Structures are given as C-alpha cells and as structure tokens.
Structure 1
Amino acid sequence: MTEKKLHKSPRRRAREFVVQALYQAALNQKPAPEIANFLREHTDFKRADAELFDALFFGTNANQRAYMMLIRPHLDRDEKLINPIERAILLMATHELKTMPETPHAVVINEAIEVTKTFGGTDSHKFVNSILDKLAVEIRENLQAEQAESSDDSNA
C-alpha cells in the first residue's frame, strides 16, 4: 500500500467516525451525545477533525427524516433494503451538501465514496455515487436559488 493510501486526513477520519456514530444510533437507539462521547474516547479520534465530526454527526442525526425525503426519489430500491452503512453515508453526505456549500460537491461525493469503500459492501460505492450525483445537483441548485433570492431581497 502506498504512503498516500495509509494517510487519512483529519476530515476523512471525522467522516468515518460520523458513519460509525450514525450506525450506532440506528442500531442501539442511544442518545447522540452518549454515542459521540463514546467515539471520542477511541484512540484514533484525536487524529480526526472534531469540529467537523460534531457538525456532521449532530446535524445529520437531527435531520434524518428530512434528508431521507430528499434521498428517496433517487433510490432504485425500497428504502428498507438500503443497508445501515449506505444509509448513514447518504445521510451524512446530504447534510454536508445542504449545510456546507464551501465544500465542493465533487469533494463531498468523493469523500462519501471513499468512506463507503472502507465500510460498505463490494459495490456499495457505486450505489452511493449514483444517488449522490443526482442529489448533489438538486441540492446545490436549490441552495444557489435560495442565495440568489436572499441577495435580491437584500438589494431591494
């Protein structure tokens, strides 16, 4: 394995911990702060971007229903057939696309694919990529329209 593949950025590590946290939340039904505190005690957490972890985990966890409503029209299968890892990754990426416009959508998608390759099944990354490609366009176009409207309102 190359040196580049061995090194994960603090932001990638944060995203990986977010997926683990969302997975635990889905399976264990524990409160989000309890899950976050448990993961913070993990040896590798100190190498993760804690601020990004908090923003992604707590934001995604609080808005799961709304995000699934955005994801649902792009699914090629019943929502119940999505495995919990794929679901967590799709939810996390949706939150990042909606609330962090400073991160290019291509970066959000690529990071989601890489996290899927780490935690997902053999071809899970293809499924995640196909959904996020469609969703990113929709979300970012809506954000641009909202920003244009608010800019027009402030100029009036």
Structure 2
Amino acid sequence: MSEGSQPARRPPRQPRSGTTSTGARKAASKNARSRAREFALQGLYQHLVGRGEAEAIDLFTRDLAGFHKADTAHYDALLHGCIDQAAALDALLEPHLDRKLAEVSPIEHAVMWIGAYEFQHCLDVPWRVVINECIELAKEFGGTDGHKWINGVLNQLAPQLRSLEVAADKGAPPAAPD
C-alpha cells in the first residue's frame, strides 16, 4: 500500500434470512411443530437430568415464554410419549450407538428420543423431516458436532422403523423385517 491510501473496504456482510447472528434459526421462522419439539426437548432434558415427573415438567414448560406459539398437541405427544416409552425408545436406539447410552449427553439422548418417537408415532411427518428437525435441535442446543452423530444414528434407525417410506424415497426395495 502506498502512503495515504486506504485499505480496500469489504462490503457489509449480508445476514442470512431466518437466522440469528450465530446461525441459529430465528424464532419467527420456526413453525409450531418445530417450537413444540424445542419445548419437548427442554422438558425431556429436565426429565433425564433431574428425573422430574412428566406432569411437573409439563406445567413448568407451559409457563415458558413463547409456549403459546407451539403446537401443543405435538408437544404433549412428544413429552409424554417419550417419557412413557423411554425404555422402549432406548432399546431401539442402543444397537445403533457407538458408546453406552449412559455416556450420551442428555441433549443428544432427548433429541434421539424425539426422532425415534416421531418415526414410530408421527407418520404424517416424513422421515427426512424427522431427521432434519432433530439435526436442527442438536445444532441449536447440543454440542459442537453432536448433530452429525445424531444424523448417523437416526439414518440407521429410519429404515428399521419406516422401511417402506425410506425404500420408496431412495428408490430401492424395502428391507426385510427383522
């Protein structure tokens, strides 16, 4: 640079639409079901960490800011369904884990419960949407690369629980049931 010249200025960075400065989705861009998953995740985290009862967690969560924008029926199904079926959900997940369930963070554990529960009981939600929503939850609330691991686990679980849908989507014949 010659004396008296100014360094080249970069154009201002354009913010990505629908995200905060950290890259997380803005609340305004989230639909009611995504919000329901977030509140269910918070409740499931409380259950996993503090062993709280579903009813007490539910009452607490319904008082959180923004809850009125969530799909309450989906929230109810996720929170109560995952807690009621915790052992069965864990049994589905464990064969696909590369570590003991006790070593999995409570956030990742809860996100995978949501994924497994939705695979089984929310057939109106396409399997790829289930995985994508779980990845977004893990990115927003979990550890640095937890979303990658969750993606791998749920991608292994999807053909087991949604064999016809996964096969049709991938253009392959469905896997034989176990």
1:82: how far off?
0.5
Alignment of 1:65-104 (within 5 A): 65-104=87-126
Structure 1 pair 98–142 and aligned structure 2 pair: CA distance change class (3 A): farther
Matches of 2:42 and 2:35, distance apart in 1: 11
State whether structure 2 residue 26 is matched by structure 1 residue 4: no
1:78: how far off?
1.7
TM-score by length of 2: 0.77
The one-character-per-residue Cα deviations of 1:124-145 (angstroms, maximum 9, x if unpaired) are 000000000010111112899x
Matches of 1:82 and 1:73, distance apart in 2: 14
Report what 1:135 is aligned to. 157
The one-character-per-residue Cα deviations of 1:8-43 (angstroms, maximum 9, x if unpaired) are 111111101111100101122221011011010011
Alignment of 1:6-155 (within 5 A): 6=26, 7-141=29-163
2:127–2:165 contact (8 Å) kept in structure 1: no
1:60–1:91 contact (8 Å) kept in structure 2: yes
> What runs of 5+ residues in structure 1 fail to find an aligned partner?
145-156
TM-score by length of 1: 0.87
The alignment-based identity, stated in percent, is 38
1:98–1:143 contact (8 Å) kept in structure 2: no
1:80: how far off?
1.5
User: Which letter maps to 1:70?
Assistant: L
User: Which letter maps to 1:107?
Assistant: V
Name the larger-Rg structure: 2
Matches of 1:126 and 1:98, distance apart in 2: 22
User: Which letter maps to 1:109?
Assistant: I
Matches of 1:143 and 1:32, distance apart in 2: 32
What is the RMSD of the two structures over their aligned residues, measured on CA atoms? 1.6
The one-character-per-residue Cα deviations of 1:58-111 (angstroms, maximum 9, x if unpaired) are 111100100111101100112211000000000111001001111100000000
Structure 1 pair 143–61 and aligned structure 2 pair: CA distance change class (3 A): farther
User: Which letter maps to 1:90?
Assistant: M
Alignment partner of 1:54: what SS?
helix
Matches of 1:22 and 1:99, distance apart in 2: 17
Higher relative contact order (CA 8 A, sep 6+): 1
Matches of 1:143 and 1:123, distance apart in 2: 28
Report what 1:150 is aligned to. none
Matches of 1:95 and 1:66, distance apart in 2: 10
Matches of 1:95 and 1:126, distance apart in 2: 19
